[in-house]
Each structure stands twice: as C-alpha cells, then as structure tokens.
Chains A and B, each alone.
Chain A
Amino acid sequence: MHNSVGERQAQSLRALTLRRFLRHRAALLSLAILALMVLSALVAPLSPYEPTAQNPANDLQPPSAIHWFGTDDLGRDVLTRVLYGGRISILVGLLATLLSTAIGVIVGALAGYFGGWLDNLLMRVTDAFLSLPTLFVLILISTMLREVPALSLSNSVAVVIIVIAVLSWMWPARLVRGAFLSLKEHEFVTAAHAVGVGHGRIMWQHILPNTVSLIIVQATLTIAFSIITESGLSYLGFGIQPPTPSWGNLLATAQAYALRAPWLMIFPGLMIFITTLAVNHIGDGLRDAFDPFSVR
C-alpha cells in the first residue's frame, strides 16, 4: 500500500529534518553564500597581493580592474585584506561559539540535572553574567589581557575568542538547563536509573542527544553574535590588532578616510552583514526543520 501519509511516517526523523531544511529556500541560499564566503577565505593566498605588503605610492586607489575593492591608506589591496580578514572573523566566530556552547552545555546540564543548591548557585552566576554590560566588560578584559607581557599581541585572536565565549555561554546554559529539567522526568531516564546507569552516562549519553537540535539552533545565534561582536570590538580597537586584518579593524581605519576613500568603509561591513544574515537564515531554517510540528 502506498499512500503519502504512510510514506511520510516511514521516513526517519533525520531524513524528515533534512527534507524540511532543503525546502527552506532562504536557508539553502544562505548556506550556499556562506560556503562561498568560507571558500573565498580559504583561497585568499591565491590573490596576487600580500595582505600586509605596503605600497605607499599606490595609496587610496578607488576600485578598479587591478584592485577590485581599491587600496587603503598604506597602498594595500583591500580585497586581499578582506579575504584574509574573513579567515580571522569566521574562525573567531566558529571557535568562540564552540567554546561558549561547551561551557553553556556543561553548566546547563549540571544545573538542570542535579537541581538543588548546585542549580541555584549556577543560575545565580548565570544571572550575574547576564547583568553585565557585555561590550564594556569585553573591552575591559581585552585591554587588561593585552597588558600581560606573556600574552603577546599575536595572541589577540585567542584573547578575543576566549573573551567572547566567557560572555556568551549564558544563553546556551539557560536553554540546556531548561531542556534537562524536563527531560530528566521522562521514563527513559527513570529506566536508566533502574538498571544502574551512572549519572554521568545518563547526562551525556541519554539526555544530551535529545537536546542537540536546540543546541545547534542556539549555536547559529551565537555564531552571528560572535562575528558581530568580534568585528565591533576590533572596530573600536580592542579586538584583533593590525596589521592582522579582520573585518572589524578594516572598518576602524576606514572612518578616517570617509571623505577621500569611502569604498574602504563599504566592503568589510558588507561582508559582516552578508555573513551574519546568512547565518541567521540558516538558523531560521534549522529551527523550522527541527520543529516536529512544522508543516513544511
């Protein structure tokens, strides 16, 4: 017997989720755009120019066939710097999200699973972190860390990743805590307890897999947050330090040349905008795809 309802039920959840995601056109397009962004960052060394090679005789050239995005105040090719900047910005976005999600999942799982005083303590700390004026603290910490001689300036990428993660783990933590709170009451957890499975195994192997979809959707939001935050921090001068290019610090020098070389302000910002928009669309598509009640 072949009827459409039967076929749909026969599909595995994974196949169904994938099919729903593939139907989300904006998300698919965004995935393609993001892939293109990552690819272009990867092939940056193919550019005929060096990202830090200065050529003062050739400064502030408008976009042309030789320099597609023009040149900056030191005669460097802007397209090359934007591509290399993308490497840093995307890397920071991904690694900061990984770290932030890891911290958030551990804190949220412990709080939600064990409850009681531990939950109370962890959630008060989470609340405290949520009450911090994030950007201000980011600036303060990165200023302080850069005063430590042991961490040289070349480590500013690591500094930025850690600092962003330390100030963004609270959202996944709250989410995972909520999921653990309700999941730990389910029969499969009681059954696992009954046959003598340990707490650690129940948390990480029984409950956690059920929260993966939530965590992934939250992670897309964190990626967007991290990319915008890194570029903002670098724009203000407290993130990635020149001459290493990032989309944010490319904008920082651009403002001084607003009158003479307006193109300097356009391209790096456009890259941040397009990347963030793509990531947000993908998150939207994943949210719909994971939703068991979605009609798509």
Chain B
Amino acid sequence: MQAYLIRRTLQAIPLLLILSILLFLLVRAAPGGPLAQAERNPNISVVQLQQLRERLGLDQPLYVQYGKWMRAIVVDRDLGNSIKSNRPVAEMIGERVPNTLLLVGVAFGLTLLIAIPLGALSARHQYSWFDYTVTTLTFAGQSVPIYWLGLMAILLFYVWLDNPFSGGPLLPVGGMYSLGGKRTVGDLLWHMILPVGTLCLAWIAWYSRFFRASMVEVFNADYIRTARAKGLAEQRVTYVHALRNAIMPLVTMIALDLPTMFAGALFVETIFSWPGMGRLFWDAARGRDYPVLLGVILINAGLIVVANLIADLLYATIDPRVKYK
C-alpha cells in the first residue's frame, strides 16, 4: 500500500516535467513570443532589441533559460511581472484565487447535492417517466454551451423579470458587490445567484448523468443481489449499499473534469464580471499580458496534476479492491 502511494506520487514527477517543458516551449519558442510586440514597434532600434533580449536572458541556450525559469518558479515562487501593471504575477493571481474558489466551491457543492440524489433516483427507477425526464434534460444540458446559458440567465433575470418592489432588474449580473454599497454577506450572496446558478445547471447535467450510469452499474453487481437476497429493504440497498460504491468513481471523474470546471469558471467570470482567476486571464489575454497568462495556466495545470494524484491516492485508500502493483 505504502509502496503504491510512493510510486504513484513519483509518477507525477515526469508528468510535471513534460508539462513544464510544454509550457516553456509554448512561450519561448513559439512564434509571437515575449519579444513579438517589441519587434514590431518601429520606435525600438535593433540595438535596444538586443539589449532587451539580453536583459530577459533570451540570448542564452534554451535549456539554460528553462532551468532559470523553473528555478524561479519552484524556489522563489516567482512567476515574473505583468507587462501591463508591472506587478508580480503571483501576487495578482493570489488576490483572485479566493474569489474563484468561492464561486466554484459553492457551485460545485450545490451540484453534488443535487446531482447525486437525482442520479440515484433516476437509476433506482430506471425507465420510469422520472428517469426518462431526467435523462432527456441532462442530455440536453450537456449540449448547451455554458456561456449561452449565462446569457440566457441575464436575459431572463435581468432584462425580462423585474423586482416587484424596486421596479429594477430582478437579479444583479455584474461583480461581487453592488457599486457604492456596503460589502455585506447578503449582498455577496445576492450577486452569487446567477453565476453560481449558471455553473450548477451546466454541471448538474454532467454529474447526474455520470452518477446515474455509475449507479446502474453497481445495481448489477453481485453484492447488491446478495443484499437483496438476504431481505434488506430496497431503501437500504439503494442508499447504503449502492450509493457508497457508486460514489467512488466520482472521485476520479471530478479530478479528470477539473479542466472543464476551470473553463466554466472562465466563461462565467467573464460574463458576470466576477473578479476571479478566469476574469484576470481574459483581461490579460486581451492586453496580451503573457506573464499573467502563463502564470494562470501554470497554476491551473499544477492544480490539475495534484488533483489527479490526490484522486488516485484517495481511490486506493477508500476502495480496498484496487490492487497496488
């Protein structure tokens, strides 16, 4: 067991290495790299360009640049400075992470709270009208682009529906707090309804469908037949025996799904002006602020690798059937 845990952890190292090389090459060797803007600027002379290249260390061999880049990230936690604001990228990201975590955390918690019972009920009453409705809706939900869902939410709750008391729009569609207002928890929650709701709708479709499939598979297992044969109530079979086993594949699914979740956050933060990492990335991309773009990607990629590692380790610990070889 311990050997497995150690080996699995060590396996993450070559992955991180390949990943970092990929990202490094992307930025340094690809066309349109760090000097593209300067090169096109007629006010910058060839000599100045050369100085800039030396100052940024771009005249050194690639592997030296890579080594320095890695050292700065790992040892100094230095992701470079923003081209636009000249602030440290690590600091800029650090400010935004809590906002993204709040949005994604609440949305994902709600998603699981709704999707698991939905999937379980659907699987238990397979081929009933309830199952049919849920399956149809979730299939449709998987085909809706999340940004259009957000736009339709704006249309419904901001443009069409009015607040019966003030006559203004029913729900706010921008930022975390009302402009000029006090930063209260109530105001925050009020602003969270639409972004969180959009993410939830999109995610529930995927997770309830996945969980339904997972439950259906478990229902065919021998131990479920045994549980039924020994006369346990169907309730107990479903919610104790089956549910616990069906939840396990969810752990892996969540880790694998992290890139999609980050993408969802980027769209929702952009649409609803939520000051998180995704919005920071979008703003930086429009300003071609490469150090910020790369910093956000590095952090996200690192999170994905770590999440997959944790999922595997967790799976090995909670599922005694996993063989540690």
Contact = CB atoms under 8 A, between A and B. Distances in A.
B26 A141 contact: yes
Name the residue in B36, B143, B256 with the highest tally of chain A Cβ atoms < 10 Å from its Cβ: B143
A168 to B, nearest CB: 11
A269 B152 contact: yes
9 contacts: A130-B256, A133-B304, A136-B296, A148-B31, A149-B40, A258-B151, A258-B158, A276-B144, A280-B142
Contacts of B322: none
A134 B139 contact: no
A132 B145 contact: no
A148 B30 CA distance: 10
A121 B179 CA distance: 53
Interface in B150-168: 151-152, 154-155, 158-160
A251 interface: yes
Main secondary structure of the interface of B (DSSP, over half): helix
Given A235-B147, A272-B148, A133 B301 contact: yes
B263 interface: yes
B105 interface: no
Given A135-B266, A224-B143, A143 B148 contact: no
A144 B32 contact: yes
A184 interface: no
Interface of B: 14-15, 18-19, 22, 26, 30-33, 36-37, 40, 139-140, 142-148, 151-152, 154-155, 158-160, 256, 258-260, 262-263, 266-267, 270-271, 281-282, 285-286, 288, 290, 293-294, 296-297, 300-301, 304-305, 308
A75 interface: no
Interface in A108-146: 124-125, 127-137, 139-141, 143-146
A269 B151 contact: yes
A259 interface: yes
Contacts of B22: 128-129, 132
A173 interface: no
Nearest to A274: B143
Contact of B297 (A136, A147, A265): A136
A230 to B, nearest CB: 10
A237 interface: yes
A137 B30 CA distance: 13
Given A124-B14, A131-B259, A143-B288, 20 more contacts: A124-B18, A127-B15, A128-B19, A130-B259, A131-B15, A131-B19, A131-B301, A133-B262, A134-B259, A135-B259, A148-B32, A150-B31, A224-B143, A231-B145, A232-B145, A251-B147, A255-B151, A258-B155, A265-B152, A277-B140
Given A131-B308, A265-B151, A144 B30 contact: yes
Contacts, number: 149
A133 B145 contact: no
Contact of B281 (A139, A235, A254): A139
Contact of B263 (A134, A231, A254): A134
A228 interface: yes
B281 A272 contact: no
A238 interface: yes
Given A127-B15, A133-B304, A140-B297, A262 B259 contact: no
A273 interface: yes
A133 B288 contact: no
Nearest to A127: B15
A281 B145 CA distance: 16
A252 to B, nearest CB: 9
Given A139-B281, A144-B30, A236-B282, A133 B155 contact: no
Contact of B159 (A125, A251, A259): A259
Contacts of A276: 143-145
A259 to B, nearest CB: 6
B26 A140 contact: yes
Contacts of B18: 124-125, 127-128
B135 to A, nearest CB: 11
Contacts of A262: 155, 159-160
A137 B297 contact: yes
